[in-house]
Each structure stands twice: as C-alpha cells, then as structure tokens.
Amino acid sequence: MGYTGLLLETPLADWQRVIDLNLTSVFQCTQGILPGMRDRRSGIIINVSSTGGKQVFAGWGAYCVSKFGLMALSQTLAVEERAHNIRVSVICPGAVNTPIWDTETVQADARGSRTVFPERSTCLLQ
C-alpha cells in the first residue's frame, strides 16, 4: 500500500493505514509464528520491503517510513532470534508493475525501463 504526497500534507488516517499494512501487520504475523519456530528451534522469516526501505523518495514519505521500519524490524528480529536458530531475511525489489500504480492513493508512475513486469517473468516454481 502506498500514498503519495508531502509528509506535511499526509492525513493521519492515510499515514496510519500505510504503517498498519506495511509494518504493524508484519509485526503481528511475526508474533503469531515465532512461538512455533522457537519450539522447533528452526525457521526463516522472509519479509518483502522495497528500495523505499533503503533510500527515500520525495512524495513517498509514509511508504518509505513504513519500509525503513520493516527493515529495522527485520534486523532486530534477526539479532534477537539468532539464539533460537531463526534467520530473518529481507527482499528489497525495485519498481514492480503491480496494481499499486493504478490506485487513487498513488499519484505517481515510476514504471520505467528497469521496472519488473511479473507477467513477463518466468517462474521456476510452477
């Protein structure tokens, strides 16, 4: 989920929706699965962040903050759960042609020559 616009002009409700979906939901899912992983003393958590979790983009404030937060959450979990033999990894894809670009909350189009188009990609797991 993304909302574009300057941070100063971002309504609190929009901010909260982005943080809830991109960060809080991952936190809650993690709390749900960690006890079982700890019991087994094994597991890997793979979170999907974004290049927006490694660098900021003007007009994408709430999105970038949520993705930077996801990076911090993942790194903290990796340190905390290492003793339980649980690994945490983060995938940071670049621009992917998904329906996010066609929503009323995103007033931008970053689809360019480096954009990934899933329908053109091949999948090894079919």
Kindly report the CATH number assigned to the domain that includes residue 66.
3.40.50.720
For 3, the 3-state DSSP assignment is: coil
Using alpha carbons, list the distances in angstroms from residue 6 to 18, 62, 83, 105: 14, 9, 41, 13
Closest CA to 14 of 76, 99, 103, 116: 103
Q: How many domains does the chain have?
A: 1
pLDDT average, residue stretch 44-58: 92
pLDDT at 123 over 60: no
Task: Give the pLDDT confidence score for residue 93 in this predicted structure.
Answer: 80
Q: Print the domain residue range for 108.
A: 7-120
Q: Is 10 or 100 the better-scoring residue by pLDDT?
A: 10
Distance CA 87, CA 85 (A): 6
Cβ count near 113 (within 10 Å): 4
Q: Is 97 or 28 the better-scoring residue by pLDDT?
A: 28
Task: Considering the candidates 63, 74, 77, 106, report the single residue annotated as catalytic.
Answer: 63
Q: Is residue 60 part of a domain?
A: yes
- The verdict on whether 3 is a catalytic residue reads no
DSSP type of residue 60:
B
Task: Give the pLDDT confidence score for residue 126 in this predicted structure.
Answer: 46
pLDDT average, residue stretch 49-66: 91
